Structure 1
């Protein structure tokens, strides 16, 4: 194999237009498993392929990139950095985006390796080149630069390089390029900050996190909306949430929700504010968040009843997320008539809204109705049953009608509601008392997509795993359900073909 590769390299070096020869080398490399390729390429130099990147011929460049991707993947990060560091560095300045992405990807591999990362951290020009890639026009290049730079920050020496050297000035200069680039740098900072309290400390001391938080109340509403998204990402880590609380950000966002009615452009950033608290509630305590910031829950309930589809969707998603927890269910129940009105709206939208809103309504309903076996106290079972009955005079028929409509996404979303109630005794009683329902569940001819078969299988699994279903559904139905489960989601009944020739 090594001899073949060597001979192909020699062929390439001897021609003026090497596209055909490069294609042969690429084919040869792809035919060798990566594990075997390591031995075949480790003793060889590929400077020639790197040198062939220096052309305006796009096909030649892309073939070289494909070849180098394959070769470098087979080599250890230590070998790559020791033998091709200069080539990777020049790749960051190449006019073709695929070359930049190749270089950034390999640098990302190298910095994750403890024995190889020092070579990168000691190369100031290379690190600067990575930062400059954040302002590249092609988003794929910028994303890969952000990804690789965040890997550098996983070590203290990496953090010191980025924040305690003149690279911080390079980062700030890049930020000044435009609003879009500034937000790419914020994305990097949030990525770094989320890794650990120490990483957050470095970012905060640079002053750039304070700058991001200041954008929340800026004059430009679009920038404000993007800032809310960034701050929501920062709140995903516990240390991030603690930092935001210390900076008074939760109070600030709550006040922004309160003041939104006075701002004609609030629809641009209000969904983000509500999502922020929705995520916060799930990660901390729904009750505590809703009690401390009542403006959030009131606004989420309002949005679900809003005529604007963009508002409705966020309201539904947020209330569904909140109601997916026991504590959240109890908080929603305490709002009384307000929440009943929302459930009626969900029912109306699920039956006759635009398709996207129908699916979001059905998903919210399934989250609200879901109870894990250990959560099934008498009070909570009574609560989910009462919510189900609010959907319609005949909620089983309503959901079943939706599941038979010719839209796979609606079919699956409706089945998820049946799955939610399938583990609860009252849900099982409704199923057995609904004529033809068990046949509907066991009928494999309904819902022919993979997603539909998986959703049906999950419903059957939910019934079989319940400790009460055998008694409530009856042993015959229970045995049939167990057989369905044993056969798997994609089982097809074999039909014997019968010859009719000469039957007369």
Structure 2
């Protein structure tokens, strides 16, 4: 066990008095021994040994060293020495100014040290009141503007806890000074803007009072104004930021209660698809709702019931604008790639969006056709082991692909074309078909398909071989009694050989004579 002796403490003391008398390497060594000695038993005695020689405030000054090793080990020592102290102790010890300086340091490690001490204020309402009145409060809020994730995450987590712990803490977060800081930070880069919006969203949805404070103080204005900006880039960035905010249920409720969801829907109802600005904002809004459908915490059926998103998607399937058409097709795939979304699409009969989508698939060519195939693979790739309903829906979608004598034949033909993107799109559909019980039966009973998928000469590209191998993997997996034993053995042999197996031929040379 390492123990601090007076010589190590004296090295640090002497450096503080006359820095030029001690080599940096010697200082780092002495500090390292002090740090290690504070671990283990007899902590209080070891702490007193240090503080009886070197005041705590003097140790803080070592954080300003140009040597990163000195700064880092000093942070560790201070963290341990401050551990027994509550916020009131820290405040009464004259350390507030050091914490303020620490929040403004270039070193994330120093900022985290200061924030860790500020976090102790959550222990009591009295401590919270002291913090609110302190210059530490606005300085801590400004730490949202730092680039490093550890600092910004700790700041966000602290203020969310503060708002949920104390009414006075919540009020302080929405006073004029705090709102001005948040507004100024939101005018920075997109990363910082998102942090600010996310913090406001998470706090404002914690209670009705919090949301009303958010509205009455104008904290919401900086968010909603982005969507109504005359600057196209600002509007597009706003929608992208909203897409990040909805990663939680509270984020969705915030956007709904603030009227942003309705504003995005209103954009979709506007008819002028020749207005390039409107087209880009509508496209971003469509993607937003696609991402919203993927959030597990949000019941997308409630969103659909209130805002009729599928009706808007159906209308944009017929758009003459290629950007809107292809975005809509992709969003249908995003919505239908989970059981709830697929059932919503399937049960939507007015309009019959799935039928209209499949009609578009059959009538389209080129890029639109390709994106339709990618969406079909998303739809068929949906599964739900708890019910047969999803299996039945995916099989019906497969049958609607059409082709003679079966849709599988169509996919096989398309998988042999020279355009790689088309081949891969068809491979992706086959892979998803092979994951369903009905698909395993359909594929395994087609001798032509089995011969094709196991024939290594039908695909020459590296990527194509990987796709064929993944199809066989899905087909073989959990097949049980669905596949005949002789076919199952052929699949097993193919898998054991790997995706890039090449059969070798032995050539025997005969001596003439």
Does the TM-score normalized on the shorter chain lie above 0.5?
Answer: yes
1:156 is the counterpart of 2:165? yes
Residues 389-408 of structure 1, C-alpha deviations (whole Å, 9 max, x = no match) = 58885325756999xx8x9x
1:289 is the counterpart of 2:295? no
1:340 is the counterpart of 2:348? no
Matching residue of 2:116: 106
Alpha carbons 2:434, 2:443 under 8 Å: kept:
no
Alpha carbons 2:377, 2:428 under 8 Å: kept:
no
Alpha carbons 2:293, 2:335 under 8 Å: kept:
yes
Shift of 1:128: 1.4
Matching residue of 1:190: 201
- Judged with a 3 Å threshold, the aligned counterparts in structure 2 of structure 1 residues 251 and 120 are, in CA distance, closer, same or farther, namely closer
Shift of 1:77: 5.8
Shift of 1:129: 0.8
How does the TM-score come out when normalised to structure 1?
0.67
Matching residue of 1:494: none
Matching residue of 1:217: 228
Whole-Å separation in 1 of the counterparts to 2:243 and 2:321: 23
Alpha carbons 2:119, 2:158 under 8 Å: kept:
no
Q: Unaligned stretches of 5+ in structure 2? A: 51-55, 499-513
Shift of 1:172: 1.8
Alpha carbons 2:143, 2:151 under 8 Å: kept:
yes
Moved more, 9-18 or 393-402: 393-402
Alpha carbons 1:134, 1:146 under 8 Å: kept:
yes
Matching residue of 2:284: 272
SS for the counterpart of 1:473 is coil
Matching residue of 2:73: 67
Shift of 1:323: 0.8
1:147 is the counterpart of 2:165? no
Whole-Å separation in 1 of the counterparts to 2:4 and 2:462: 52
Whole-Å separation in 1 of the counterparts to 2:327 and 2:30: 52
Taking only aligned residues, the RMSD between alpha carbons, in angstroms, comes to 5.4
> Which one has a bigger Cα radius of gyration?
2
- Judged with a 3 Å threshold, the aligned counterparts in structure 2 of structure 1 residues 392 and 481 are, in CA distance, closer, same or farther, namely closer
- Judged with a 3 Å threshold, the aligned counterparts in structure 2 of structure 1 residues 473 and 152 are, in CA distance, closer, same or farther, namely same
How does the TM-score come out when normalised to structure 2?
0.66
2:239 to 218, 228, 234: 228
Shift of 1:339: 0.9
Whole-Å separation in 1 of the counterparts to 2:493 and 2:253: 51
- Judged with a 3 Å threshold, the aligned counterparts in structure 2 of structure 1 residues 152 and 284 are, in CA distance, closer, same or farther, namely closer
- Judged with a 3 Å threshold, the aligned counterparts in structure 2 of structure 1 residues 103 and 47 are, in CA distance, closer, same or farther, namely same
Alpha carbons 1:415, 1:456 under 8 Å: kept:
no
Whole-Å separation in 2 of the counterparts to 1:436 and 1:217: 58
Matching residue of 1:51: 61
Alpha carbons 2:8, 2:30 under 8 Å: kept:
yes
Q: Unaligned stretches of 5+ in structure 1? A: 491-504
Shift of 1:127: 1.2
Alpha carbons 1:323, 1:367 under 8 Å: kept:
yes
Shift of 1:374: 3.2
Whole-Å separation in 1 of the counterparts to 2:253 and 2:285: 18
Alpha carbons 1:286, 1:328 under 8 Å: kept:
yes
Matching residue of 1:496: none
1:255 is the counterpart of 2:260? no
1:20 is the counterpart of 2:21? no
Alpha carbons 1:78, 1:110 under 8 Å: kept:
no
- Judged with a 3 Å threshold, the aligned counterparts in structure 2 of structure 1 residues 132 and 242 are, in CA distance, closer, same or farther, namely closer
Q: Number of residue pairs matched?
A: 456
Matching residue of 2:388: 376
Matching residue of 2:410: 394
